[in-house]
Amino acid sequence: MESLQRILLISNSTVYGCGYLDHVEQQIQEERILQFLEENETPVVGIREGAWLVCENDSVTLKGEAGARIFRRGKVPVEAKPGDNIIDLVGAPNGS
């Protein structure tokens, strides 16, 4: 039986705001993601508006015009930019 990799995607459009409330919303969202990771091994990709992931041929590539922030249990969050292959951060599409 083939194993599938799980990735939790979160739309993260608040990063484009420049006001104080936008900063607070982003901070609260990040706290909730970190709380989720206390109980789960599933990587979380905070994908910004205008970005998407392409999962094929043992690669996970960030596409579009915006980046993403990747959260993993016990690790410091990592910024990814369009064109990055994030397979080492989130795992292979086929779970290997």
The pLDDT tens digits for 44-72 are 888 888 888 998 888 899 999 988 999 99
Average pLDDT, stretch 67-94? 89
Identify the residue whose tokens are 């249990």.
73
Question: Per-residue confidence at 3, pLDDT binned at 50, 70, 90?
Answer: very low
The whole-model pTM stands at: 0.75
- How many helices (H) and strands (E) would you count in the chain? 2, 6
Class of the 8-90 domain? alpha beta
The pLDDT tens digits for 12-47 are 554 444 455 566 677 778 888 889 999 998 898 888
Is residue 92 pLDDT above 90, yes or no? no
Say if CB 20 and CB 57 are below 8 A apart: no
